[in-house]
Amino acid sequence: MEDIDDSIKLPKELYSFYQGIVDALDAWTEDKDNFKYWDTATSLREGYREEVFMGFAGTEEEISIRTLKEFLNKASDKLNYGIEAAKEEETGLFTMYFSYDAVEYEKDW
């Protein structure tokens, strides 16, 4: 297993995208504004796609394993928050775009 003080290299474009997501997660941690986070993350993602469409510039940035683990913990917190928010209080089931309650039905067999 890698030492937590080790680091990895990322293409500078990916590192820039990562930094933007970290900032968005930090802002979300403060205000829990899901729409603002979604809007920021989506804009960052589309900017990243456009930037790397024709390839990477070739320069790299280093990120420590410790910092990367902190990021993954923040991302996990955000995902878990979203999972809990998606559950219906009454049933504990996850909401969907459409749901139906059968009022009556007939067995076909």
pLDDT at 3: 64
Taking CA atoms, 93 is separated from 77, 82, 84, 99, in Å, by 20, 13, 10, 11
Domain residue ranges in the chain: 7-86
Q: Is the dihedral of CA 19, 20, 22, 26 positive or negative?
A: positive
What are the average pLDDT values for consecutive 10-residue runs of the chain, which has 109 residues? Answer: 78 97 96 95 97 95 95 96 88 75 83
pLDDT at 79: 94
